[in-house]
Chains A and B, each alone.
Chain A
Amino acid sequence: MSKIDQIMAEVEAHLKDGVLQVKEWKEEGKPVVGTYCTFAPWELITAAGAIPATLCARGEEPIAAAEEHLPRNLCPLIKSSYGYALTDKCPYFHFCDMVIVESTCDGKKKMYELLEKMKPVHLMMLPQTAQGEGARAIWRDELDRLRSRLEESFSVSITDQEISRRIELRNRERRALRSLWELSRMDPPAITGKEQYMISEYCEFHFHKEELVPWLEKVVSDIKVAYDQGERRVDGKAPRILITGCPLGGAQKVIHAVEDSGGVIVCYENCGGVKEQGFLVDEDRPPMEALTDKYLNIGCSVMTPNKSRMDNLRTLMEEYKVDGVVEVVLQACHTYAVETYEVRELVRSTGRPYLSIETDYSKSDVGQISTRISAFLEMI
């Protein structure tokens, strides 16, 4: 077993540890806060002494139950998230004391209203644009409002000092994750896209960041050492693919289709991928101000205009020496579906091929997706 194999085996063995961590945390009487979105300010939640657990759902199982309340023609991510809550099948949701949601896309927003029957919900009013002082002021107030709500709910007082400490910790994790993604800048990449994804999942559901971050830093440096000593896990001829679009949690079949057909994913420009870690929170500014700017500038399609996504894509295609771009659009996601036009134009203007895949959480289109992706890779 090579060094990297060992690392991967370790990660795989502990992939589900997050649930235990949350359970223990609860048993110690400490709060858990559910989040659905990259916009939820991690630093504030942790500064309140709570664990922020991602609820953004990825399974198909509870969708049928969700459809008893929600229309069928709705994004599977929304249906799945709601279904898990409704059927009480998600341990993270189960342990939550409250959930933080944002006014992002229409479907999510309306679904959140229904969630209130099950858990205390705190809605953050996310402006629809990141431009202008007005929008920024709204978001700045929303962070204050969240801070007070957390203080009240958990009877704590959140100091600026504590927030700054959390910012430092999270930035350190962001840097470590970034260096994990950057392993794919090498040619050939040091590890596969599937492996990267698995490590990042593990990190997302590892809630004791003080332990996690040094571990992750070491893992990345161990992988680099193994690479320098000649360990190769990816064929140098494999087409280098960037994935963009909707969150991939429930559509990991696309990741498998790319890598099982001879390609390698070198960059994920989705939520959960390099998008979030691209920008750090500025540690030299007053913490609440720095947080406001960091979170408001996430390049999500619910924002209009969404210039930062296009800028970021352009840079990533260069930095990661991308050969082709695959965009994943979940069924009934209007904002990403509309943006496919601009993304396609952008990608093609750089001379790279582009493929858009519309899918849901089911397995019914696995064969078709694999054919389309294979054909796309053959084209490169």
Chain B
Amino acid sequence: MIAIGIDMGSVGTKTVFFDGKVVDSHLEPTGWNPAEAGRKSVEYLLDKNNITKSQIGPIVATGYGRKSLAIAEKSVTEITCHARGAYFLDNQIRTILDIGGQDSKVIRLDQSGNVVDFMMNDKCAAGTGRFLQVMANLLEYSIEELGAIPIEGEIQSISSMCTVFAESEVVSHLAKGVRKEAVALGLLDSVAVRASSMLARIGIAPGLAFTGGVSRCSSLVSMIHAHTGQNVKTYPQSQFAGALGAALISHDMI
């Protein structure tokens, strides 16, 4: 039996097939129709791995679109799934910082990987992947290029966290001739400060993992390390942590 977890994010739909270990995973743009993206992903992975429908277990959905997926047997929040998935990747993890496309969250785990506390910033794009994406576009950087900027350089601090205001602030700094790198570092720093204060509020237990698409940005990782004084672990597969967690829950149900 193959367990299936689908994480229906606002930007990407992530699907993981699992049978005790990860069989395969797939990322599909969510687009306008999350349910369709989920269905397509399952079909794609079934086809690719020569698996028939009769071999699959219950589908567990998570992410903001989780309730719209009719083929799912169960929906579980991204907090629980993310924690399950991240703990599976590394059972030394006790604190998770996740910065995704539309929201950011921090989760505290106990030794067995159970969620003991969490906090979400979901009110606005401030400090999320979307914020960085908009700003990167403005500066004509890719997220990876943004990540490659050495953090020792001069920093132009950005006071506004609201996407709209930060945008005009950035434009005015550039017009005044401030170096692009300095503005970029200022933006990254504002995200790092915000993330670190969220971590401080929940209290960091050592074993800090940084997950989500934005964790690919290595300069940001270093900044969070600098602000929190904690080692920050990242994982190449961490984008799939939520889907993996959902697949693990599906696996429990088999």
Contacts and interface: CB of A to CB of B under 8 A. Distances in A.
Interface of A: 353, 365, 367-368, 371-372, 374-376, 378-379
A355 to B, nearest CB: 9
A371 B118 CA distance: 12
6 contacts: A353-B117, A371-B64, A371-B79, A372-B79, A375-B79, A375-B115
A377 to B, nearest CB: 9
A149 to B, nearest CB: 44
Contacts of B76: 374, 378
Contact of A365 (B115, B118, B123): B123
Given A378-B76, A379-B80, A368 B122 contact: yes
Contacts of B79: 371-372, 375, 378-379
Given A368-B122, A371-B77, A379 B115 contact: yes
Contact of B120 (A353, A371, A378, A379): A371
Nearest to A365: B123
B64 A378 contact: no
B78 interface: yes
B159 interface: no
B115 A368 contact: no
Interface residues of B, number: 14
B215 to A, nearest CB: 21
Contacts of B77: 371, 374-375, 378
B74 to A, nearest CB: 11
B116 interface: yes
A353 B119 CA distance: 13
Nearest to B118: A375
Contacts of A379: 79-80, 114-116, 118
Interface string B106-120: 000000001111101
Interface string B70-109: 0000001111100000000000000000000000000000
A231 B241 CA distance: 42
Contacts of B64: 367, 371
A375 B116 CA distance: 11
A376 to B, nearest CB: 8
Contact of A371 (B114, B117, B122): B122
A54 B116 CA distance: 40
Given A374-B77, A378-B77, A368 B117 contact: no
A376 B76 CA distance: 11
A295 to B, nearest CB: 36
B123 A368 contact: yes
B123 to A, nearest CB: 7
Nearest to A377: B77
A378 B122 contact: no
Contacts of A368: 120, 122-123
Contacts of B115: 375, 378-379
A259 to B, nearest CB: 16
A376 B118 CA distance: 8
A371 B80 CA distance: 11
A374 B78 CA distance: 10
B80 A378 contact: yes
Nearest to B107: A375
Given A368-B123, A371-B79, 18 more contacts: A353-B116, A353-B117, A365-B122, A367-B64, A368-B122, A371-B78, A371-B120, A371-B122, A372-B120, A374-B77, A375-B77, A375-B78, A375-B80, A378-B76, A378-B115, A379-B114, A379-B115, A379-B118
Contacts of A376: 118
A375 B120 CA distance: 11
Contacts of A371: 64, 77-79, 120, 122
A365 B120 CA distance: 13
Contacts of B116: 353, 379
A372 B118 CA distance: 9
Interface string B124-144: 000000000000000000000
A375 B63 CA distance: 11
A368 B79 CA distance: 12
A353 B107 CA distance: 13
Minimum-distance CB pairs A-B, first 10: A375-B79, A375-B77, A378-B80, A368-B122, A379-B115, A374-B77, A371-B77, A372-B120, A375-B80, A378-B77
Contacts of A372: 79, 120, 122
Nearest to B82: A375
Contacts of A353: 116-117
A372 B107 CA distance: 12
A368 B64 CA distance: 9
B122 to A, nearest CB: 4
Q: From B64, B77, B80, name the one whose CB has the most chain A CB atoms within 10 angstroms.
A: B77
Contacts of B118: 375-376, 379
A41 B114 CA distance: 48
Contacts of A365: 122-123
Interface centre among A374, A375, A379 (most CB of B within 10 A): A375
B77 to A, nearest CB: 4
B61 to A, nearest CB: 12
A367 B117 CA distance: 20
B11 to A, nearest CB: 16
Contacts of A375: 77-80, 115, 118
A108 B230 CA distance: 45
A379 B112 CA distance: 13
A367 B122 CA distance: 10
Contacts of B117: 353
Contacts of B80: 375, 378-379
A330 to B, nearest CB: 15
Contacts of A367: 64
